[in-house]
Structure 1
Amino acid sequence: MIFWFIAAVMTAAVTLLALWPLLRSRPVHLASRAEHDVEVYAAQLRELDADVARGAMAPAEAETARAEIGRRLLRAADRGKAQGEAGAAPWKRPMMLATMAAVAILVPLVSVALYAEFGGGGRPDLPLAERRAPASAPGDIQTLIAGAEERLRAEPEDGRGWDVLAPIYLRIGRTEDAATAFRNAIRLNGASAARESGLGEALTQIAGGDVTDEAAAAFERALAQNPDHLPARFFLALNLSQEGRRDEAATAWTRLVEMSPPDAPWLEIANAAIADARGDAAPAAGTAPLAQTAPAQGPDGADIAAAAEMAADDRRAMIEGMVSQLASRLESNPDDVEGWKRLIRSYTVLGDADAAGAAYRTATQTFAPESAAGREIAAFGDELGLTAEGKTQTQ
C-alpha cells in the first residue's frame, strides 16, 4: 500500500511538471516580429531628429523621411496589436485544453501499464546469466556453419575462415571435418599451439579416444610452439598411460598437475592417472593427492584447446564419449587385444573402477585363458590389480 501511495505521488509530480508551462497564469512574453519593427522605426525617428539638430539633414528632407517612417511605424503597431489579440486567452484554445487533458490522463495510465508489464513486485529476479545475450540455438549454429562453408567454397584459401570453423567442427563432433579444417588453418596461417593441439584432439577423437602416433606428433609440435600449453601436455600424458609406460606417464601427469592452476578441471583425471601409474589405489572423487581439485569437476577431454570456455561437465562428457567409442568398436571387433587394454586402462584413469572391472571381465571371457591373448589380458589385469571377477584386489 505504501508503494502505491509513493507511486501515485511521483506520478502526480511528473504530470504537474509536464503541465506547468500551460498552467502558468502569466506566460513568459516573447517579442513578436511586429513589436520588434515598432522599436526599430521609433529609433529611426529619434536618429532623424538628431540629424536635423546637428545640421546633417535639411528640415524638408527630414519631414519627407519622417512621414515614410511614421507610416511604417503605424503598420507595424497594427500588426502587433492583431497578433496580441490572437495570442490572448490561451485557456480558450481547444488544442491547448486537449493537450492538457491528454497529459493528465495518459501519463498515469501509461505508467501503470508499464509497471504491470515489466516491474511487477511479485516477479522473480532475473539471473545474471539470463540477462546476457542468449546463445545461438542449434539451428542458428548450423546456419552460421553453412554460411561459413559456402564462403570457404568460394574462397578456399581464406585461412581465417578455416581458423574459425575448425574448433566449431570439433565441438559439435564433426571430427573428420575438424581435422581437415585444422590442417588448412595450419597450412594457410602457420603452426600455433592451439591449431596443432586442435588437430591432435580431432585425430584422437577419430581414433575413438586412442592418441595415435599422428596425434601425438601434433601435440609435440604444439609444445614446441608453446611449452606451457596444458592441453597438449594432457594428451601426451594420456598417450603414455595408454601405452602402459607407467614411469613416464607418472612424470608427465605430475608435471601437468604442477603447471595447472588450483581449480583446473582436469586435475581429477591427472591425479587418478598418477595413482594408477604408481600402482596406488585411485584417489576418491574430489580429493587431490598433488593439488586441490575443484569439487565435482570432471576431467578435461577432447575440447580443452579448441573450446577452453566449455563447462567441466561438457569436458567430462567429451572424454567419456571417446572412451565409449572405443568400447563400441570393441563390440564389433572383440579380437583387438590392445584395444581391450586401452579401454581397461582408460576406465582406470577415469577413476571408474566398476567399468574397468567389467571391461576386464569381458576381455577375459573373449579370449581363451590358455591362448597368448588370454595370458596377455590376465597379466595386464594383474598389473592393474584386477581379479578374475573384475574387481581390484583392494576391494
Structure 2
Amino acid sequence: MFARVLKDKDFKSKLKANEIDLMRRNNEKYTLFLYAATSEKYAEQLSLILRYHKDKVFSQVHRKERNALHVAVLKNNVKGLKVLLEAGFNPNETSASLNYEKPIIKATELNYFEITKLLLEYGAKAFERHTNLITPLFHAVKNKNIEMVKLLINNNADVNAETSGGKMIRAAMFYGFDEGAICLHERGANLTHLTLGEQTILHTVSAHGKLSTLEYFYERFSDINFTTMRGESAIFSACRWGKYENIQFLLRKGAEFLKCNDEGESPLVVALKNEELEIAQLLISHGANLKEEMNKVNKYLFYNIRRVHVVEFLLRQGANINVKDDKGRYVALTRYTFHKEYLRLLDKYIDKMESELEEEYTSNKFKYLVKAK
C-alpha cells in the first residue's frame, strides 16, 4: 500500500496539495512517514515529507515510542537517517522499544558501522552507558569489529569502562578478540585491576587468549605470579580454561605452579577438576605431585571429573573408587550415566571396590544390560 504511494510519479505534487493521508497506519502500525524511514530507496520521499509536512509528522512514533530516527537505525537505513538528522532529529533520544537505550547503543549492538559513524557526526555520544553497564564500545568489542572500536575510541569512548564482567579489555579477551584487546591497551586501557577480584591482563589472556597475545602482554606486564583476591596467579586461569600452550609459556617464564589458592587447590587440582588431563600431565612432568594432591582430587572424582579417560588415569594413579557423597551413596553409581565404556572401566577396577559397592555395581550393571537388550 505505502510502497505504491511513495513510488507514485505524482507523489510530490500530491504531497504539496495535501492529497496524501499522512496519519493513516498500515497493518504493521507504520504511518507513511515512518514507513519511508525503513528503506534507503525512500530517502527522497522522506525528505519531501519533511519539507512540506514536518510539523505534522515529526512527532510520529511507531510501537512503544519508536520515532522515525529509531526506525532508520533499526533498519540500517543510512540515507534515511541522514535526512532525519539534517531535519533536526535528536541522535541521543531514547525509545521504550529500545529499552530506553540511546540509538548509538542499538546501532553498535547491530554492528551497523555507517549508522554509528553518522550518529557520531551529528552529536551522538560514544561514551553513552545503558543501565546494565552496556556501552557502544562494549558492543563493538563483542562483535569483534576493530574499525568500530577505533571509531568509538577516536570519539572519546572510555577504554577503561566497566562491564558486567570487569574492564573492557577483559571483555575483549573473553570474546576472543585479541586484536581488540591490543588496540584498547594501545589507546590507554589499564592492565591491572580488571575485576573486583584484582585480575590482571595476564590472568585474562592466559585463560582466553592466543599464545602470541600472551607474549605481547607479558612484555608489558611481566608480574607472572601476581595473585588475585582468591590467591590465584595466571597459571590457574590457564589451567581452568585448558590453554596448554599458554601454560607452557607461563612455566618457561617461571610461573609458580605448586602454590595453592585460597581454597587449598593447586593448579594441578584445578586442571583435573576441569578434566584437562594433558595439562595435568604437563604439570606433573614439571614436578607437581599427584599423590600428595589425591585427597583433594577424590572430592571431584565422578562429580566434575566424569570423562572416562580422565577417571581411568586417576584410578590408575590411586584415586579412591569408593568415594561417597554427603548422603553416604557411592558416587561412582550415582553420578554416572551407565554406558558400555563406563562399564568396561569399572570392571577393570572391581577388585578395588568395597564389597558393598561391588554388590551394588553388579546389580546395577545387570539391570542395565537387561534393559539394553
- Is the structural similarity TM-score above 0.5? no
The normalised TM-score by structure 2 is 0.30
Bigger Cα Rg: 1
Q: Which is helix-richer, 1 or 2? A: 1
> 1 or 2 for the larger relative contact order (CA 8 Å, sep ≥6)?
1
The normalised TM-score by structure 1 is 0.29
